[in-house]
Each structure stands twice: as structure tokens, then as C-alpha cells.
């Protein structure tokens, strides 16, 4: 399931000439350990680190060369049993700390990127199209005046409908499905006869996500308020539980 409309809109940015890189600082502001992960899209080479452990209040950096298109997310409640590494949310089913080219299993909050080259425009968004597990913010560091932060700062799990809720071992809600993930119907997934913006408007379910996180993608065609750009070769701070 593809999350967000970002990649369809900006793949042309990948074909600009030249080369540069961006440094992503991943910060864990949650009061518990998380396990961030990365995935390169479009069949490109994976980054040097596709998964790592990050203690509460700790930070780690990932350097990625442009052009690049991919995503970041965080896994929660991870452990190793019988030699297999698994997580309660965002698990990539690799059985290892590294995801090795596998994506996070929904529901999971995604940060999606397309990095341009030679100071061209980067495109980025926070996507809840496949659901939510953790709040997150994205803050450009450097770059031009057009560079803006975006975020999903609210804990959507607190308002998650019962039939969308994913519960942890203690019975608490640890993730919230999107309507597309919960119902798997074209009208909620913007697929089939509903695969265009005019035929797939917001629903009462997507509005729950949008109310909590106005800057994030709440459904597939939520482009106008959810896609952000930055020019000038910025670096980025991604903070979980901002």
C-alpha cells in the first residue's frame, strides 16, 4: 500500500544533474526506547543504516546522498525472541534490527522524502495514510527561506476509533489504523473507481487524523496542505514525540 501522494508528484526531482547529500538527525523525545528505520524507494540502494536502536532523549545521524526517494519511521516495543527481532508497531519483518529494504508494516507514521541535487527542491511530508503509531516532526536545518517545518504532534492513539485501534500487551492503544487499512475498500483507499482527487474526497475517518495533525497526509489525495518543499541543500531534524 503506497502512503501519500508525494512520490507521484515529485519523481521528476530525481533526475536533476549533480550530486549532494543531506544529514538527517533522528531524535527520540519519547520517554522510552524506539527503533527508527529507513527505506529507499524506487529500487535504489538502501542507506548505510536501515534500522537502529535509539534510547529516550538520544539522537543519531544518517547521511544520504541525493538524488534519493524514501521514508523514515520508528518501531516500538521491540524485542528478540528465539533469535528473531520483532516489534509491536512498525515492524519490517526482517527478523533483524536492520530492515534491509523492507518497509514498516502498517499502521505506522511515515516521514517521506525526495531529495533533489545541487540545491534543488527537496519534497517531504508526514503521512498517516497507512495509519499512526507515534507523533513526529520534521525541521529543516539550513537551506533557503522557503524551508518550513511540518509535523504530526498529537497522539492520535488517544482518539482512535475502537475498530481502528491496535492494542499492546498491556491493553493500551499503541497504533491506529487508517480507514483504508481497516476496511480495504476503494472509497477509503482512493483506488479503482475512486482513484482521482475529485472522486476520493476526505471522509469522516480521515478527518479524525486531519483534525489532530493538520499538516500531515490524512488520505491519499491530501496534497495541498501536506506536501512541503525546501531548496538550498538543507539538513533535517526528525523528532519522534516532539
Q: Is residue 197 part of a domain?
A: yes
Question: Domain tally for the chain?
Answer: 1
85 part of a folded domain: yes
The pLDDT tens digits for 63-75 are 999 899 999 999 9
Percent of the chain with pLDDT over 70: 90
Residue 92 backbone class (left: φ over 0; alpha: ψ -120 to 50; beta: rest):
alpha
pLDDT at residue 10, rounded to an integer: 40
The verdict on whether omega for the bond into residue 2 sits within 30 degrees of 0, i.e. cis, is no
**Residue pLDDT, tens place only, 214-234:** 999 999 999 989 999 999 889
Please say whether the dihedral angle defined by the alpha carbons of residues 58, 62, 63 and 66, taken in this order, is positive or negative.
negative
Q: How far apart are CA 50 and CA 100, in angstroms?
A: 6
What number is the average pLDDT over the span 183-204? 96
Confidence class for position 119, pLDDT limits 50, 70, 90:
low
pLDDT of 142 > 80? The answer is yes
Residue 15 sits in a domain of what CATH number? 2.60.110.10
For residue 52, being part of any structural domain is answered with yes
The sign of the dihedral angle between the CA atoms of 94, 97, 98, 101 is positive
| CB-based contact 108:146 (threshold 8 Å) | no
Residue whose C-alpha is closest to residue 180's, from 127, 125, 111, 129 = 129
Query: Is the per-residue pLDDT at 165 higher than 70?
Result: yes
Buried b (16+ CB within 10 A) or exposed e, 200-222: beeeebbebbbebbebbbbbbbb
User: Is residue 40 one of the residues assigned to a domain?
Assistant: yes
- What average pLDDT score do residues 28-51 get? 89
Half-sphere exposure of 5 (CA within 13 A, CB side): 20
* Position 42 in a domain: yes
What share of the chain has pLDDT > 90, as a percent?
79
Residue 4 has pLDDT above 90, yes or no: no
Domain extent for 107: 6-240
Beta bridge partners of 39: 71
Amino acid at each position: 500500500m503506497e502512503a501519500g501522494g508525494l512520490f507521484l508528484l515529485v519523481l521528476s526531482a530525481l533526475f536533476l544533474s549533480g550530486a549532494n547529500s543531506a544529514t538527517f538527525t533522528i531524535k527520540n523525545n519519547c520517554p522510552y526506547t524506539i527503533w527508527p528505520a529507513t527505506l529507499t524507494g524506487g529500487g535504489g540502494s538502501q542507506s548505510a543504516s536501515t534500522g537502529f536502536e535509539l534510547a529516550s532523549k538520544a539522537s543519531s545521524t544518517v547521511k544520504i546522498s541525493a538524488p534519493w526517494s524514501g521514508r523514515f519511521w520508528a518501531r516500538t516495543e521491540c524485542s528478540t525472541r528465539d533469535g528473531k527481532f520483532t516489534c509491536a508497531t512498525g515492524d519490517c519483518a526482517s527478523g533483524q534490527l536492520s530492515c534491509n529494504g523492507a518497509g514498516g508494516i502498517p499502521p505506522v507514521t511515515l516521514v517521506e522524502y525526495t531529495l533533489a541535487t545541487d540545491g534543488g527542491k527537496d519534497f517531504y511530508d508526514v503521512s498517516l495514510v497507512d495509519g499512526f503509531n507515534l507523533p513526529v516532526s520534521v525541521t529543516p536545518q539550513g537551506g533557503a527561506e522557503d524551508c518550513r517545518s511540518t509535523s504530526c504532534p498529537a497522539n492520535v492513539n488517544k482518539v482512535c476509533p475502537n475498530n481502528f485501534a491496535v492494542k499492546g500487551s498491556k491493553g493500551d492503544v499503541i497504533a491506529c489504523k487508517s480507514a483504508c487499512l481497516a476496511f480495504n475498500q476503494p472509497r477509503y483507499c482512493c483506488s479503482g473507481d475512486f482513484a482521482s482527487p475529485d472522486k476520493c474526497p476526505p471522509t469522516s475517518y480521515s478527518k479524525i487524523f486531519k483534525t489532530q495533525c493538520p499538516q500531515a497526509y490524512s488520505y491519499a489525495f491530501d496534497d495541498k496542505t501536506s506536501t512541503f518543499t525546501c531548496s538550498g541543500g538543507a539538513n533535517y531534524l526528525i523528532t519522534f514525540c516532539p
